[in-house]
Structure 1
Amino acid sequence: MNWFEALVLGIVQGITEFLPISSSAHLIITQELFGISMPGLAFEVFLHFASLLAVVYFFRADLAVIIKEFLQYVGTRNVKYKTSFWFGIYIIAATFITGVLGILLEKQLADTLRSMTTISIALFFTGLFLILIERVMKYGNRREKDMTFWDAFWVGIGQTVAVIPGVSRAGSTLVAALWVGLDKSTAVRFSFLLSIPVILGSTVLMFPDMRLAEFDTGWFELTISFIASFIFALIGIRWLIAFLNRSKLIYFAYYCFFVSGVVFIFLR
């Protein structure tokens, strides 16, 4: 892998990780189009870790408040810290559900369903659910203080479905959060913050399978892909939040349909 291929993969990973269009599908499609082969798990770990740092950096203020008020509620039981406490609990609960079910399903599904046909179908259904949430369901008005364990459960289930290549983690969590009646800003915030423990957990789980020889890919290429993934993940987060404040998820549905058709017709 040369520096340009590393740059391309870093950009694709960063910009698609937090958009409801499936980063895993776009990485596979990019490798197919450019004839690139991932040099090993070390490279994938670097890409995911860069995206993780980006979302932590972007939401650093939110994270600081949630962690601080979570601990203050544990220590004082002061009601003014209750919302942050339970919001943190719901993130933990959804992460637990995703972790348990994801571990059970990923080895059975991730490799066997990694075909272009599966990706095409998964992208189609991602687009379909984005349209359903926009055209059939009405946005709810419940915020952090109104959340329940059932919200965390269904968002965790939605996130678990994203082990299938082509199903967007961001898309599935957004759809699930909106489906249970959370308002758009709460759904977006919960989806982004939920990505932190999930990406961290999946990255840590890759460590035992990594080999030191994989770093022979070249530190220069790894560094380029890492920086590109971090920068474009930040751009993607900022752009998505701004976009959803003034527009709708349905445009991502049209994009998913388009990519699904291209994959089904030309890349199978």
Structure 2
Amino acid sequence: MTLFEAIIFGIIQGITEFLPVSSTAHIVITQLLFGYTFPGLAFEIYLHLASVLAVIMYFWRDLWNVIQGFFKFIFKQSKEDRVQFYFGIYILVATAITGVLGKLLTDTMGEGLKTPGMIAGALTVTGFALIFIERFHKTGDKNEKSMTFLDAIIVGLGQTLAVIPGISRSGSTLVVSLLRGLDRETAVRYSFLLAIPVILGSSVLALDDFSAEMLTYIGPLNLFVSFVVTFFFSILGIIWLIDFLKKSKLIYFAIYCFVLALLVYTMIDPDTVMDV
């Protein structure tokens, strides 16, 4: 891998991780364009760690409030910490559902998830979901205080679909949260905080893929540069998405998904091996 390619991978991962356009699909497509077949999931997970570091730094106050309130309620049973305790529980519930069902779906379908047809179809579904939630669904008024276990379960099920390249994790959690009646601020906060345990959990499961082979294949400098670039552009992606949601501009992301789906379906050879 060249330094230029490492920078491109970092930019692609950073920008697309939190936008509702599927970072996994973009990484798969970029690999195909550059002709790479990375050993295992290590490099993809490595870049995701840079993205989750960006989330932690950007939402550190929210994260700290949830963690602090969670444990204070356990040990002190204080009413003022009850909301943060249950919000933490809702994060854990959705994460557990995604972890178990996502693993089953991946083990069942395997490489079938990464075919051009599957990616194009998933991007199309993402686009229609974004249009529906913006144009035809009235935003609810639920917040952390009025969320329920059922909300967390359904969001977790929606997030599970993001194991399919082309289904955006941030997009699926955001759409399902809004469908469940969460207000936009709570839906965005919930979606971003959910990314932390999901990505960290995926990293633990992929530890076996981190090896000297990956270091040799990609190169120490390229790994460092791609991590830094991913972190920087993840911050930009977070800021950009929050700004777009305030202006209700999800339709633009939907159009992008449709265009990308068409390009993937018509321009990528379905016989290409996508071992990522």
User: TM over 0.5, yes or no?
Assistant: yes
In the alignment, which residue of structure 2 is the partner of 1:179?
179
Q: Where do 1:59-98 residues align within 5 Å?
A: 59-98=59-98
Q: For residue 84 of structure 1, what is the amino acid of its counterpart?
A: Q
Contact 1:49 1:200 in 2 (8 A): yes
Contact 1:5 1:36 in 2 (8 A): no
Shift of 1:43: 2.3
- Give the Cα–Cα distance (whole angstroms) in 1 for the partners of residues 201 and 15 of structure 2: 21
Q: For residue 33 of structure 1, what is the amino acid of its counterpart?
A: L
Contact 2:56 2:196 in 1 (8 A): yes
SS in 1 for 2:105: helix
Aligned residues: 268
In the alignment, which residue of structure 2 is the partner of 1:255?
256
Q: Deviations over 1:40-61 (max 9, x none)?
A: 5442232111111111111111
- Identical-residue share of aligned pairs (%): 53
In the alignment, which residue of structure 1 is the partner of 2:55?
55
In the alignment, which residue of structure 2 is the partner of 1:108?
108
SS in 2 for 1:142: coil
Q: For residue 261 of structure 1, what is the amino acid of its counterpart?
A: L
Shift of 1:39: 5.5
RMSD: 1.3
Unmatched segments (≥5 aa) in structure 2: 270-276
- Give the Cα–Cα distance (whole angstroms) in 1 for the partners of residues 127 and 45 of structure 2: 28
Unmatched segments (≥5 aa) in structure 1: none
Contact 1:21 1:168 in 2 (8 A): yes
- TM-score under structure 2 length normalisation: 0.93
In the alignment, which residue of structure 1 is the partner of 2:230?
229
Contact 1:110 1:165 in 2 (8 A): no
Shift of 1:110: 4.2
In the alignment, which residue of structure 1 is the partner of 2:274?
none
- TM-score under structure 1 length normalisation: 0.96
SS in 2 for 1:43: helix
- Give the Cα–Cα distance (whole angstroms) in 1 for the partners of residues 77 and 250 of structure 2: 39
Contact 2:12 2:26 in 1 (8 A): yes
Shift of 1:116: 1.0
Shift of 1:267: 2.2
Contact 1:73 1:82 in 2 (8 A): yes
- Give the Cα–Cα distance (whole angstroms) in 1 for the partners of residues 142 and 64 of structure 2: 23
Q: Deviations over 1:54-87 (max 9, x none)?
A: 1111111111111111111112211111111110
Q: For residue 109 of structure 1, what is the amino acid of its counterpart?
A: M
In the alignment, which residue of structure 2 is the partner of 1:245?
246
In the alignment, which residue of structure 2 is the partner of 1:138?
138
> More displaced, 187-196 or 237-246?
237-246
Q: For residue 250 of structure 2, what is the amino acid of its counterpart?
A: L
SS in 1 for 2:112: coil
Shift of 1:254: 1.1
- Give the Cα–Cα distance (whole angstroms) in 2 for the partners of residues 160 and 189 of structure 1: 18
Shift of 1:155: 0.4
Q: For residue 196 of structure 2, what is the amino acid of its counterpart?
A: I
Contact 2:42 2:209 in 1 (8 A): no
In the alignment, which residue of structure 2 is the partner of 1:15?
15
